[in-house]
Chain A
Amino acid sequence: MNLVLVGVSHKTAPVEIREKLCFPEPRLPEALQELKSRYDHEEGMILSTCNRVEVLVNTTNLDDGVRQVKDFICDFHRLRNEFLEKFLYDFTQRDAIRHIFRVASSLDSMVLGEPQILGQVKSAFNYAQTAGTAGSVLSHVMSKAFFVAKRVRSETGIASSAVSVSYTAVELAKKIFNELSGKTVLMLGAGKMSELAARHLTSSGISHVLVWNRTYQRALDLAAVFRGHAIRPEELFKHIEKADIIISSTGASSFILNKTDGERLIHLRKNRPVFIIDIAVPRDIDPEINKVSNIFLYDIDDLRNVIDANLKQRQRQAQFAEEIVRQEVESFVNSATAMDVAPTIVSLRNHWESIRQQELAKSKNRLGALTQDQQAAIDSLTQTLLNKILHGPISELKTLSRNPAAKEHIETIKRILGLKDR
């Protein structure tokens, strides 16, 4: 296993550079083939999203690998090497594995914990499989990366809090009402933002939508989209008490609801809470209304504050996630090197077995005719002898394999035991 990873991401390169390095989907098969065949890499895959381009190869020679992959990227996009150098990062072996695990777990994403990246990594790997450039090592690394990503998602809260305005509104609504099914949302005004928020709310279980707008026709149109009801301009206060959630985004220049309206509203609702989202600028709802018990008013800045807090929450959770990645890299590297001595052990056994067979054949002539039992005895004698001799070196190899620094020792053992390098 000789892993090399070269890439750019939103952390190292501005969008002008990233777009130049993008591998568009239709050209991926061609790019993968070239990547593999050009320098005789054993395996390769390419991840190309709007925030990052990463090229990962399992190569024959680690020392040249980084240079070769960089050349490949530059040549493929017909760019000069010196120009790109400062934007590209490269990792090998353990560091490459760690980087892949972090990327798949969304720890390296622009929005920490965003869920899309895992799907993108998965599809990049699928492309490589289809193109026939992903073999056993890459499969091994990637399936572990998917596992790590899953572990991070389920064991930390890295993706648990909303980071977009409309999801934050949904999340706040759930912190108030718990269940959104059976609840009613009232849209004041028919702006794009409130439509988006309402869409998220309805897909989270809100069952009734009311629309109020200065122009009744517009209200009717929007109500039709959500299969809701339109409220006539003059009848707002007749229906407002039905709303558990109010999203306001009118172009009104003065407040539509003030504190007194709020008090009356809560009285009519028998103290059932109301969640008001005011995304209009200038604001539609008198901020004083938040002082009324059981009314929760959030304007656009408040929602942003919540998003900031959520991001901080994600950062705290990311620390736990980094720890998970660290553990998993450790365990993966250990098992991967252990895997690497397996061929040595096999060839060791084969080598000595063939010597045994040769010697048996030679002595057969000298020993003359033997009975079946004698034949079996000699066979088992030599077999046992061989096993006993090889037991020490093999268990030593297995122990050494867990230590990545022991590569030289492994080579020495191979040489002593008369194994040619594969």
Chain B
Amino acid sequence: MSLILLRLTIALYSIGLLHSFLTIITRKKILFRVALFGICSGFLGHALSILYTWRETHLPVSNLHQALSFFAFVIVLAFLLSYARYRLDSLSVFIFPLVFILTLAANLISSPQQPLPEILKSIWFYIHIPSTFLGYGAFFVTFAASVMYLIQENELKRRRPQAFYYRLPSLEICDELGYKSLSIGFPLLTIGIVAGALWANKAWQTYWGWDPKIIWTFVTWLIYAVLIHYRLSAGLRGRRAAFMAIVGFIFVLFTFIGTRYLGTAHPYIQR
């Protein structure tokens, strides 16, 4: 059932993909309302699919299939929230294809549904994983806003406007969105890490395992901590802040996907 719902979700998300393609090719806003509707209903389908699996077993984030699907879900959530606030159509061009690819990849990878080891069953599971994921979703928005900022800044500095100049929002909006999403993502990641430590203590009687994933997550956290510190104290903004946010997100990606090749105690990396 949840797989059927997920496939329906992919079909709906593909409208978003189509929108992005048409927007880039024709340079005209086509289908945005339709695409937004598709993404919204896809989001509902996605939510139902996740709830369905949850009811059968547990929050579906314990293998790669589920993790990708859940990450896509979180990104759509982050997009819808920022759209509700800023009405940025241009953001959709970045986000819809990514969401589609993530969901499609989740669908293609079939990982066996493994029961959660008894030792890991804990309330911390429900705090550690969702808040880390939501944090990453927010950081993705920070990343997208930073990329938009750099492109628009480049257009303005070059003083010869091309297509992006007309399509992208103002620098102020890009910067603000980058900052707001950062200041939502950072506490979430912090909560995720703390919850993870408490959970580890309960399961393995240690707060801190020298697991590659944990180390990389900590490095990621440090980068965002430095960024948020300079933003608050020294008024760091614009170009440099955008660069840092992009570097931070590269670390997020590595933590999320890259560390699977290094061996780790984090479940969905183990096959």
Contacts and interface: CB of A to CB of B under 8 A. Distances in A.
Interface of A: 156-157, 160-161, 172, 174-179, 270-273, 290, 293-294, 296, 298, 302, 305-306, 309-310, 313, 316, 320
Interface string B143-164: 0000000001000110111100
A156 B161 CA distance: 19
B236 interface: yes
Nearest to B163: A313
Interface of B: 27-28, 152, 156-157, 159-162, 165-166, 169-173, 234-240
A294 B162 contact: no
B171 A320 contact: no
Contact of A306 (B27, B159, B237): B159
B240 to A, nearest CB: 7
B171 A273 contact: yes
Given A293-B240, A305-B160, A306-B159, A271 B171 contact: no
Contact of B166 (A271, A273, A313): A313
Given A271-B236, A293-B238, A175 B156 contact: yes
Nearest to A313: B166
A177 B172 contact: yes
Contact of B156 (A156, A296, A313): A296
A156 B172 CA distance: 26
B166 A157 contact: yes
A158 to B, nearest CB: 12
Contact of A316 (B27, B160, B234, B237): B27
Given A157-B166, A178-B171, A271-B235, 12 more contacts: A174-B170, A175-B156, A270-B235, A272-B237, A290-B159, A293-B238, A296-B157, A305-B160, A306-B159, A309-B161, A309-B165, A320-B28
A316 B26 CA distance: 10
A242 to B, nearest CB: 16
Contacts of B239: 293-294
Contacts of B240: 293
> Nearest 9 CB-CB pairs, A to B?
A270-B235, A178-B170, A178-B172, A302-B159, A309-B161, A271-B237, A175-B170, A271-B235, A176-B171
A306 B156 CA distance: 10
Contacts, number: 59
B238 A175 contact: no
9 contacts: A176-B171, A177-B170, A177-B172, A178-B171, A271-B237, A293-B238, A293-B240, A294-B237, A296-B156
Contact of A161 (B160, B162, B166, B237): B166
Contact of B152 (A175, A293, A305): A175
A211 B152 CA distance: 30
A290 B237 contact: no
B244 to A, nearest CB: 13
A161 B162 CA distance: 12
B231 to A, nearest CB: 10
Contacts of A156: 28
A270 B173 CA distance: 18
Contacts of A306: 159-161
B200 to A, nearest CB: 40
Contacts of A178: 169-173
Contacts of A177: 170-172
A290 B157 contact: yes
A271 B169 contact: no
Contacts of A296: 156-157
A52 B238 CA distance: 48
A161 B165 CA distance: 11
A175 B165 contact: yes
Nearest to A267: B235
Nearest to A302: B159
Contact of A271 (B152, B170, B172, B238): B238
A311 B132 CA distance: 47
B22 to A, nearest CB: 13
